[in-house]
Amino acid sequence: MTERRRLPEALWTQLLWVLAACSAWALLVMERVLELHEGPPRTALIALGYVLVGGSANGAARRLRHSRARFLPLLLIAGIAAREWQRHALYEQYRASGPIKSIAPATSLLRPITTTDVALHYYALTSNQLASRRLRIVLLSDLHVTRALPGAYYEQLFELTAAQDPDLILLAGDYVSEAENIELVARLFARQRVAARVGAFAVLGNHDFWTDPARIREALSSGGVTLVEGRCQHLPSTIGRIAICGTEAPWGPELSTALDRTELNLVISHTPDNIYRLAEQGASLVFAGHTHGGQIRVPGFGSIVVPSRFGRLFDEGHFQVAGAELFVSPGVGAGMPPLRIYCQPEILVVDITRP
């Protein structure tokens, strides 16, 4: 009878160890492993990690159940919870104004699939460096062009972008997930062309470097897009003291020079993880993507898995970090799988005017 009473306790102890260890591995996967080259080796590493971590935790629970070390899982879970709470506090500290206007298809709990329900979000800022009346910026990120989605959807994205009458179009990377779809990107940019009054500027993302960056650069250039990879380009003085800069760190050229803080420095970075360094260098506004907003979100909770060393901190939206404005787009495409759940694709529009 004694053993029967102990069995449930032993079982709960094992489950607690496994839960704590797998939670820690899940955080490591989200913050580090997902930055590795996507493919079967990475998938195998993640799966093998869960097996090894879970198995080791189960074994530790058996061996250490009578020692003081039996409390380690509780300490690990408490540490993870404290870390997430700290990030939530930072999120509240950094979170800036929401959009002044949004145009988006209606959402519903009964309609979770939002893969092509593109939304438009409008923001407004002021700057003394602006000479013209207004500078309208449109951000497109993470197209992930694929045959799994209709070609008409991507054409709609370009039409919606053009309809905003943009002065600048910024493209923040990840135009494909697989090399076989680069030809689709080339056709799309050749047919639609990215038209903006002042120009269109771009950087590449991690998936672009993992496929064929040279061909993607060629496709973008053929569509009238200027690549700013690790460099800056100044706009005409009639518009203002404005520089467009780009960084592709950690996969490609980084922006390594200090920026002129008397100018309005607009920086495109595929990942928001570069925000602290860019703010230190003198970035005024940083435009990023990469996170997909989590791609799968839980109503009332938000994103679950975000490929960032900062976890869910900069998953989507407008933030003010160390003196820089950060805009993180959830993107307009979808990676693998090509599916969004409770997470609408987004075109972001920022109007900058003189005070």
pLDDT at 256: 87
Q: What is the pLDDT along the chain (355 residues), one digit of tens a residue?
A: 444 445 566 787 888 889 989 999 999 998 889 888 888 899 999 999 999 998 898 888 888 877 877 788 899 999 999 998 999 999 999 999 899 999 999 888 889 999 999 999 999 999 999 999 999 999 999 999 999 999 999 999 999 999 999 999 999 999 999 999 999 999 999 887 788 999 999 999 999 999 999 999 999 999 999 999 999 999 999 999 999 999 999 999 999 888 999 999 999 999 999 999 999 999 999 999 999 999 999 998 899 999 999 999 999 999 999 999 999 999 999 988 899 999 999 999 999 999 9
3-class SS shares of the chain: helix, strand, coil, % to 5: 40, 25, 40
- Check: CB of residue 97 under 8 Å from CB of residue 123: yes
What pTM, to 2 d.p., does this model score?
0.92
The C-alpha atoms of residue 82 and residue 74 are separated, in whole angstroms, by 12
The C-alpha atoms of residue 182 and residue 145 are separated, in whole angstroms, by 8
Query: What secondary structure letter does DSSP report for 310?
Result: T
Q: Output the furthest CA–CA distance in the chain (Å, rounded).
A: 87
Q: Across-strand partners of 318?
A: 327
Tell me the C-alpha to C-alpha distance, in Å, between residue 298 and each of 109, 111, 124, 293, 304: 10, 13, 28, 11, 7
pLDDT at 225: 96
Residue with tokens 């993470």: 142
The top-level CATH class assigned to 99-353 is alpha beta
